[in-house]
Structures are given as C-alpha cells and as structure tokens.
Structure 1
C-alpha cells in the first residue's frame, strides 16, 4: 500500500506541477497520500508516514485550501495523527496553531485534541483540562460543510473528543470514566460512514485495548484485539484490520498472560513477520499505555 500510493502520488505530482492545485484533481493526489500515511501508521513506519504528511502540506498551500476548503482543509493536519500514533508528545506541543483559525477550523480543533492527549500522557493534568476546554470551543467553529471525503469533520471530531476524554480521565486516575469514554470512541469510530482510508486514522480499539491492559483487564483487552484483527467475526469487514502489528502484539501478550501457548505460537509467527516490517519498537498497541510489556 505504501509503495504503490507513493508512486501514484509521484505521478499525480507531475500533473500538479503542470496545472497547479486549484482543481478537482487535487482530490486524487490527497487520496493517494492519505493512503500512504494510513498504511505506514499500520505498519509501524513513521518515516513513510511523515513523508506522506509533508507531501500533503506541499500539495495544500493556503491558496489551494482556499479554493476548496470544504474538501481540502481536513487533510492539512495529518501529521498530528502520526505524532500521536508514535507517542511523540513533546513534538505535538511544539506544533503551531494556524494563523487563520476560520480557514483552518478543523486543523485548529485537531491540534487542541492532540495537545490534550499529549499533556495527559505527560501528566500535565491541569494544562490538559484547559486544552480540552479549548478543543470544545474550537469544535463549535468547524463549519458543517467541512468533509474528510465521506465523513463530516464534525463527526470525526466526536471520535476525537471521546478518545481525548478517555485518555485525559484515565491518566488523571479516573480509570472507569476513562475506559467508558474509550468504549464510546470505539462505537463512534465504527459508526463513521464507509471510506478508504477510514475517517479516523488510528483504530480506537488500539487505545482501548492498551489501557485495558494497563488496568489489568486482560480478558476484555483480548476480546478487543480479536475484534480489531477480525478473528471473531463480530465486526463488518471495513472495521477489521487483519494482521496489524499493534493488535497482534496486544493479542499475543494477552494469550501469554493466560498461558495459551498453542494459539500464541501462530499469533507470534504473524507478529514476528509484522515486526520485521516495522521500523520502530512495538511494545504496546498504543503509546498511551503506561506499563508496556
């Protein structure tokens, strides 16, 4: 996925250089770069993901965003999803807010979300709560016509809110409240309209499973990972992520903890192959987990 979409984006770039970005064809280049980022995040390859995000920013300078903000603006802040996926909390806090908050309304809201998650994970709880308040304010300014392909940005931000509150409450010591918000995030994520790539960049079950593991809820975590991998048939195909390194790691740890060695032998074989493709160490299904194995 990563290599094919990188090549497609390279070809698209030739047309961009010829005709500029103020045309509908820019949607196709966005689509290919979006897929590159999505695939790289699943593979545990931040360099490929950041490469795609930088290409997106170069594809979407301000004049191009102004040409069609309803479709283009939501793809500007993709870098934030990568920073969260790989736990780059300090990097998130260095990100600058857009000067034009009206044009970049979704980007502004998403940065408040990312900052809240980062601050919560850095145990800066008072600042995280203030950032969550600013996120809510920013969401009120996101125009209803703003879309990320098939999904309204307002619906995507509902997933962000539940994820953010889940991590904020959990890291503040309110474990049950945190986990309940993450379960709500899973429901909202599953309920997004079909899209390729999916409207939310990091499967919400990865965070839920990780913090269930952190809380010692291994049985529920195992069920979460099985569902994400598509092993139990509980989810429609678009919500399954077969063979992804994050949930394979979580499932393998769950099986190991309860002494299930036969199934774990097969899971470990898949996990070893997935780990060989990753360029970073995978120790949990989400960087939000404190007691990573």
Structure 2
C-alpha cells in the first residue's frame, strides 16, 4: 500500500525506527538493518543516511563518505517530490536535510569545523522552512548537532545561542538544556549553569539514558 500514490506517509512511518536508532546512538542496530526495496526511494535514502551517521560515529570515514554520496544522489531523485507526508512535506526536503546533516557530522568528526558548521546551518535553514506538522517531519532538531559541534570547536558562546533558540521552539527539551548547561560552564557562567542544570534534571527525570552531548 505504501507504494501507491498518496500513501507516502506510510513510507515515513515504515522508516521511523531508523530515525530513532540515530537519535539514540544505536550504531550496531543500524548497520544490521536490511536495505529497503530499491523502489522505495525515500526509505532507502534514510537507510543510507542512518548508516552514514553510524559509520561517522564509529570513525569509519571512508564508508561514511560512500553513504553520503548515496544520500546526495537520492536527494536529487524527482520521485521524492511526489512522496509526501500527509500532503504537507515532500520527502525531497527531508533528504536534503539528511544530506547536509550527514555532511556536517562527517566534517566535524574529521575536525573540519568550518565546513561542518556551514553544512549544519544549511540543514537548519531547510528544516526551519518545513511546514508545521506534529511531530515535526524531521524528527530531531539539527540545532542539537550544531550546538554540539560548536562546543567541540571551542565556541561555547555560539553554542549557547543555538541552544537558546532551540528552547524557544521546543521549550524545556532535555537535549538542549544539557547542551546549554555545557556551553555556560565553558564560559564560566556557573550561576546560570546551575539553574539550567536543575531544569535539565526536571526535564530528564524519567529518562533511562544518560547524555554526553546534545546528540549521540
């Protein structure tokens, strides 16, 4: 049914587990996932994106580059214009975000922070332009990656601004509260950091995972 015109949303539902595995750093699980059928262009693109992130996080950069090339190619496939989520968002836009987000994460992992920041900002521009949907069609804010990269690059003031902006969009989300606290600590704003730490504890009280950054 998800191959029929007008049922692109089912393809989105079908691939949600891969997005979740990326969100929570389940790299081995991602790499064990079988490739979707060739005619399912959008799910195949997300599969390549998830694998690219997994390879990046496990320092297998050559393999990550191959996945990035696949994502970029799929993002240009005109079929994606017709595969939409509730007739609101063309999956073409999601694959454009995926390509730039993966490129940014890969560049950051290699220490190329200027390129990483540029790619991630471009991804955020596309993300911010998506029509409203709930949950958002791109499931986890790219700002969580950008903030983490700013911290890795030794730019905590820039990270602080990114996290504060994200908290305006998604109030009291633990991911950005965690990153905001880190950014404040790195600037010796210890009083503000302590206040944010309390907010984070309240937001994260029922979580069963521990964070080391605002994204895995």
TM-score category of the 2 structures, normalised to the smaller one:
over 0.9
Find the partner of 1:258 among 187, 195, 198: 187
- Do 1:120 and 1:172's aligned partners in 2 also have CA atoms closer than 8 Å? no
CA gap of 1:178–1:276, structure 2 versus 1, over 3 A, is same
Q: Contact 2:75–2:96 (CA<8 Å) still a contact in 1?
A: no
The reply on whether 1:160 has 2:98 as its aligned counterpart is yes
What is the correspondence of 1:145-224 to structure 2 with a 5 Å cutoff? Answer: 145-149=82-86, 150-224=88-162
Q: Is the CA contact 1:74–1:146 (under 8 Å) kept in the aligned structure 2?
A: no
How far apart, in 1, do the equivalents of 2:9 and 2:179 lie? Answer: 36
Give SS of 1:276's match. coil
Deviation at residue 153 of structure 1 after TM alignment: 0.3
| Structure 1 residue 205 displacement after superposition | 0.4
Question: Match for residue 55 of structure 2?
Answer: 119
Q: Which ranges of structure 2 fall in alignment gaps of 5 or more residues?
A: none
1:10-35 deviation digits (Å, cap 9, x = unpaired): xxxxxxxxxxxxxxxxxxxxxxxxxx
Matched, 1:248 2:177: yes
CA distance 1:185–1:143, shift in 2 (3 Å) = closer
In the alignment, does 2:204 pair up with 1:275?
A: yes
Shift of 1:202: 0.5
- For residues 195 and 141 of structure 2, the distance between their equivalents in structure 1, rounded to whole angstroms, comes to 23
Q: CA RMSD in A?
A: 1.5
Note the C-alpha offset of 1:251: 0.8
Distance 2:74 2:167 in 1: 34
**Structure ID, larger Rg:** 1
Verify the 8 A CA contact 2:81 2:92 in the aligned structure 1.
Answer: yes
Please give the alpha-carbon distance, in whole angstroms, between the structure 2 residues aligned to 1:152 and 1:73: 12
Which has the larger displacement, 144-153 or 241-250?
144-153
Instruction: Provide the C-alpha distance between the structure 1 equivalents of 2:97 and 2:2, rounded to a whole number of angstroms.
Output: 24
Q: Secondary structure at the match of 1:242?
A: coil
- Cα shift at 1:126: 1.0
Deviation, structure 1 residue 111: 0.6
**Pairwise CA distance, 1:253:** 1.5
Q: Residues 1-293 of structure 1 correspond to what in structure 2 (within 5 A)? A: 64-67=1-4, 68-99=6-37, 101-102=38-39, 104-141=40-77, 142-149=79-86, 150-230=88-168, 240-287=169-216
How far off its partner does 1:275 sit? 2.1
Q: In the alignment, is the contact (CA less than 8 A) between 1:212 and 1:220 conserved in 2?
A: yes
> Which structure 1 residue ranges, 5 or more long, are not aligned?
1-63, 231-239, 288-293
Aligned length: 213
Q: CA deviation at 1:252?
A: 1.1
Instruction: Give SS of 1:280's match.
Output: coil
Contact 1:75 1:148 in 2 (8 A): no
